[in-house]
Structure 1
Amino acid sequence: MMLRIEAPLLPVAIALIVGIVIGEWIKAPIVVFAAMAGILIITLFLRYHPRWQTTTILICVTLFGCIIRQYQENNMKVWWPEYPAEWQAVVIDEPIEKTKTMTVDVLLANCRQKVRCHIAKSNDSQEISVGDGLILTTHIHEIRNKTSNLHHSTTRQDSNKIASDHLKQQNHSKNQNHSTFDYQRFMASRGFTGEAYVRPFDWDWGIVDISHLSRIERLRLRFMTYRSILLKHIQEWKLDKATEGVIKAMTLGDRSDLSPTVKTTYTQAGASHILALSGMHLTIIFFIINLLMNWRKAELISQAIIVTTLWAYALLVGLSPSVTRSAFMISVYALLSVGYRDSAPINTLSFTAIVMLIINPLALYDVSFQLSYVAVCAILLGNSFFKKVIPIEWLMNHRIVKWIWGITLVSLAAQIGTAPLVAYHFGVFNPCALLANFFLIPLATLTIILTILALTTIWFPWLSDLFVMALSFVVKTMNHLLQLVTEIPYSHLNFEPFSVVLTLFIYILMGFAFILYIKYLKMHCIIK
């Protein structure tokens, strides 16, 4: 058995990541740029020494990572007025209802900055939805980690109380996950540059001119408006809150209606990834569309339609890092399949990471970005070296065993690969996650298919109602089975979150163990 990993872009992606990380401490862009220019000149004289030339190229990529990190941070530094000002804003995401406020993400038409607003809860604020224009008269401040550093106008006692209550609740939930959670960096990775607390009489509805926004921003806003319409259709199905929340999260990426009980159940069962749109969801949709568009004589047209549909869905759910990565990879795979070329999955994964990090270097600190890439990398490596340990000829004659082995391999690879990262961010380990995935994957596939059928047949109420009934049964079954998993002793282990050093050390050990295992397989002639 001949196994090779062709990934010349993998070292480039790693060098870029290292550069972005060390760019946090190197604050001399001119010096870094001069150093990169000097090393590039040296590289030109090393063409007869390929190893040294490769080393200098990777050093240049690392320095380039430092530069784009600093450039991104400088672009996100906004000097907000010290006093309340009037802002024209458009709502860009579904508002989230809190105890005393409505968390509303807006894009300011005046300066094209993303701001998170905490609007005092009222009958009017609870009616805010995606695409609405708002006129805000408030003080926007820089996003900071500590409540003591947040500064508001001294005359705004009510607004300060709302801010204090919200941040106490926010910091409490953050501390439960990780004592060193960097809220400022998290918001920066999502593109937010400011935060505001708005009293009931400091905002009003308004018609906002969005012609100054870029085409991509207007297109994304339009698709988010479409998503809001679909979410309202799902609400009209009159399902129980737990079922409705899971359907919205799994199909449209709206987690605002997930109850704490449902979140806890999925987290303890090691199934929280099902509630966050990722490559698995997009892959399911890809195979559904591929079956419908399998035109052998017009493969180029069918693949173009598939790729366009996938990116439309990615826009519909908000272009999260994991969805964007998956759409990017599937697009490359589809285009290469037209030319009958090898997709080189590790190389494609590295390419998507490089492109996404160049566009937004701070996306590296997004937890979904980290988990998405680590999980896919672990799955690809696992499939490359372990899927053929059991002879394929034997598996082809035992289809049930093949299906079990496939799910086991993917689930185990993803769980092992992401375990240190999950322990670092959340301080939790789920030994029973592998068991849960055996029924989660088929049930999640059914959930996505039935939701699509129910939404596309709304003009035939009797047929749509039939799909909704089946959908409700599937989701309730999934919730019940996960609840049973959480009742298994030691199904979830909570502990103090890992440090950065310990996390890196574990990944280094895993790398060495992987290399030793490959050498063992070669020694016994299992692979070449």
Structure 2
Amino acid sequence: MESSTRHNFTRGILSFVLFFCVLCSIRVLLAMHTYKGISSETPCSWRGIVLSQPSVTGKAVRLDVLVVYVGEKRVSPFKTKVVLYRSSILDDTLPIRSGSGIACVSRFQGLYSSKVKPSYRRYLMSQGFKSQIFATYQKVSLVSIEREDIPAFTRFKLRMSAFRSRLLHNYSRFGITGDNLAVVSAMTLGDRSFLDAGLRETYSVSGASHVLALSGLHLGIIYSILLMLMCRKIRLYKWRLFSHFMIILTLWGYVMLVGAPMSAVRSASMLTFCTV
């Protein structure tokens, strides 16, 4: 009887997971098919919240921004890729970081512009971006964004981002600096902002660039360690079930901590599926 109940429960959970995966796949396909980008012919003012740590390449500063106001009108929040150009490499007058509110006057460039390469367009669309913005550093100012204007899930991601920033700061406090800090940050927290062009090229030439991107390799190691620590000597079914639930919860917590990149989400989904 107990064995039959266990199998029925497992089949129920498995059916739910399969239904959820199919539903999400259909939702993604519909979103791609009915995609509507954001564009504007003339510059307009907007305000938004920074979702990522700034990525600096030469004079260019790249940000992921959630726009919540266009002009004085509150709009349905949408993601845009922002590229700011500084007057010089040493220009760092604005302390922009994840969670900062910024305002700017610029033009929204739609993703179907002829200037956007098809491969890059597909990448931006898969990440949920609706447009691109190119502006000078001097046109941006820091502003405060009301808490109520930010979706609840976005607020949660920003809290996780702030916690990740504190962990990165602790790395520096422990004496991890330079290229060591860049590699450790990329491999453990998914932060690749410390990787310079030379280090990226070195890993690319050696064929080991994949270790710098969080994927199934990293999550598989974490999952194996958790499985060994929490389920190795547990015999009772209900406690094993609880242990597996805690492992899945910890795994997804880590995925949110590193910013929920698509590679980590796919790996966590497969590990969840296999665990169930």
Percent of aligned pairs with the same amino acid: 28
The residue aligned with 1:76 is 36
Q: Distance in 2 between matches of 1:273 and 1:123?
A: 31
The residue aligned with 2:269 is 328
Q: Pick from 86, 106, 109: which aligns with 1:138? A: 106
The residue aligned with 1:310 is 251
Do the aligned residues in 1 keep the contact of 2:32 with 2:125 (CA within 8 Å)? no
Give the drift of 1:311: 0.5
Paired AA for residue 118 in structure 1: V
Q: Number of aligned pairs?
A: 242
Do the aligned residues in 2 keep the contact of 1:114 with 1:192 (CA within 8 Å)? yes
Superposition pairs for residues 458-497 of structure 1, below 5 Å? none
CA deviation digits over 1:305-361, x for unaligned, max 9?
Answer: 1111110110111212221111112222223xxxxxxxxxxxxxxxxxxxxxxxxxx
Q: Does 1:287 align with 2:224?
A: yes
The residue aligned with 2:179 is 242
Q: Distance in 2 between matches of 1:102 and 1:89?
A: 16
Q: Does 1:115 align with 2:72?
A: no
Paired AA for residue 322 in structure 1: S
Higher strand share goes to which structure?
2
Do the aligned residues in 2 keep the contact of 1:95 with 1:129 (CA within 8 Å)? yes
The residue aligned with 2:202 is 265
Q: Distance in 1 between matches of 2:36 and 2:154?
A: 17
The residue aligned with 1:189 is 126
CA deviation digits over 1:108-144, x for unaligned, max 9?
Answer: 123311111112333223x211111112222222135
Which secondary structure state, in structure 2, belongs to the residue aligned with residue 136 of structure 1?
strand
Give the TM-score, by structure 2 length: 0.77
The residue aligned with 2:213 is 276
Paired AA for residue 74 in structure 1: T
Which secondary structure state, in structure 2, belongs to the residue aligned with residue 301 of structure 1?
helix
The residue aligned with 1:52 is none
CA deviation digits over 1:9-66, x for unaligned, max 9?
Answer: xxx9xxx9xxxxxxxxxxxxxxxxxxxxxxxxxxxxxxxxxxxxxxxxxxxxxxx97x
Which secondary structure state, in structure 2, belongs to the residue aligned with residue 273 of structure 1?
helix
Q: Does 1:231 align with 2:168?
A: yes
Residues 114 and 77 of structure 1: is their aligned pair in 2 closer, same or farther, counting only changes over 3 Å?
same
Q: Distance in 2 between matches of 1:244 and 1:266?
A: 15
Q: Distance in 2 between matches of 1:233 and 1:146?
A: 44
Give the drift of 1:73: 4.2
Residues 73 and 87 of structure 1: is their aligned pair in 2 closer, same or farther, counting only changes over 3 Å?
farther
Superposition pairs for residues 392-471 of structure 1, below 5 Å? none
Give the drift of 1:242: 1.6
Give the drift of 1:209: 2.2
Which secondary structure state, in structure 2, belongs to the residue aligned with residue 112 of structure 1?
strand
Paired AA for residue 124 in structure 1: T
Unaligned runs of 5+ in 2: 1-17, 70-75
Do the aligned residues in 2 keep the contact of 1:142 with 1:194 (CA within 8 Å)? yes
Which secondary structure state, in structure 2, belongs to the residue aligned with residue 131 of structure 1?
coil
Superposition pairs for residues 200-211 of structure 1, below 5 Å? 200-211=137-148
Q: Does 1:199 align with 2:168?
A: no
Residues 250 and 68 of structure 1: is their aligned pair in 2 closer, same or farther, counting only changes over 3 Å?
closer
The residue aligned with 1:124 is 93
Q: Pick from 183, 190, 193: which aligns with 1:253? A: 190
Q: Distance in 2 between matches of 1:140 and 1:199?
A: 14
Unaligned runs of 5+ in 1: 1-11, 17-63, 150-179, 336-528
Give the drift of 1:278: 0.5
Q: Distance in 1 between matches of 2:98 and 2:119?
A: 27
Residues 144 and 223 of structure 1: is their aligned pair in 2 closer, same or farther, counting only changes over 3 Å?
same
Paired AA for residue 218 in structure 2: H
Q: Distance in 1 between matches of 2:36 and 2:93?
A: 31
The residue aligned with 2:58 is 99
Q: Distance in 2 between matches of 1:75 and 1:145?
A: 14
User: Computing the radius of gyration over CA atoms, which structure comes out larger, 1 or 2?
Assistant: 1
Q: Pick from 240, 253, 256: which aligns with 1:299? A: 240
Residues 76 and 254 of structure 1: is their aligned pair in 2 closer, same or farther, counting only changes over 3 Å?
farther
Give the drift of 1:145: 6.1
Residues 76 and 181 of structure 1: is their aligned pair in 2 closer, same or farther, counting only changes over 3 Å?
closer
Do the aligned residues in 2 keep the contact of 1:252 with 1:317 (CA within 8 Å)? yes
Residues 232 and 184 of structure 1: is their aligned pair in 2 closer, same or farther, counting only changes over 3 Å?
same
Give the drift of 1:225: 2.1
Give the drift of 1:71: 4.2
Do the aligned residues in 1 keep the contact of 2:37 with 2:111 (CA within 8 Å)? no
Do the aligned residues in 2 keep the contact of 1:145 with 1:184 (CA within 8 Å)? no
Q: Distance in 1 between matches of 2:31 and 2:274?
A: 32
